[in-house]
Amino acid sequence: MKKIHFLKALKKSYFIFFVFTMIAVGVNAQETENGNQSEEELEFNAEEAFEESEEFKRNKLALFLGYSWIPQGEDEDTGEKETIFVPSIGFSYEYWFTEKWGIGTYNDIEIVKYKVEKDDENAELERENALSLAVGAVYEILPKWTAIAGGGLDIDKNETLPILHLATEYVILEKDSKELSISFSYNNKKYYDTFSIGLVYGKKF
């Protein structure tokens, strides 16, 4: 993000220099009938336009679409342990206090019914359309690359589980205030773990 801001600032500086040069040539050649703007006025307008283009956007809303895989899953027919792949959708909201630090809420739903083994127990746990609600701190490691750490609850009609939520996102496409990122996440849900990968489409404002 800072690199993009630097390039924009550099382009803006070249543009301002070009404008000032053209004005100076025009003033020396001929005075217009209505007069010309002073250098101070032009500099003020240029700085104002630059500040508007570089305005720090604190809010980000995003949609998530991806898949989770669950190593502790069970085959519904045989009851044997197997890795389960689960489609999931979700949304998130982030508020940035600075360009490096923010806080967010990360929520997704697994749109499928499945069973998992409980750790150290001769029992199984059934999950159906489980909804994960997590709150976490978000930190920008490098421009376009963020890390998230937090916790929350995983809820369905059978049982509510505490979760640990860890994730990272990297922006692969960016235009204006819109971003397309790839996301990797890990959730520890008390009895079992889930690993997720997906795409995040977000808008800053």
Q: What is the DSSP string of 142-186?
A: ETTEEEEEEEEEEE-SS-EEEEEEEEEEEEEEEETTEEEEEEEEE
Q: Which helix (H) or strand (E) holds 14?
A: helix 2-29
Neighbours of 3 (CB within 10 A): 10
Predicted confidence (pLDDT) per residue in 18-32, tens digit: 444 444 444 444 444
CA separation for the pair 80, 74 (Å, rounded): 5
Q: What is the pLDDT of residue 123?
A: 78
pTM beyond 0.85, yes or no: no
For position 38, what pLDDT does the model report? 53
Q: How far is 196 from 66, CA to CA, in rounded Å?
A: 7
Q: Is the pLDDT of residue 191 over 50?
A: yes
Q: Cα separation of 161 and 158, whole Å?
A: 10
For all residues of the chain together, what is the average pLDDT?
80
Q: Distance between the two ends of the chain, CA-based, in angstroms?
A: 15
8 A C-beta contact, residue 48 and residue 69:
no
Span 79-100, mean pLDDT? 92
Question: Which pLDDT score, from 0 to 100, does residue 120 have?
Answer: 61
| CA 109 from centroid of its chain's CA atoms | 18
Q: What integer is the mean pLDDT of 39-67?
A: 71
- Output the furthest CA–CA distance in the chain (Å, rounded): 93
Among 88, 91, 46, 53, smallest CA distance to 67 is for 88
pLDDT in tens, 106-145: 999 999 899 888 766 567 889 999 999 999 999 999 999 9
Joined together, the tokens standing for residue 152 give: 């929350």
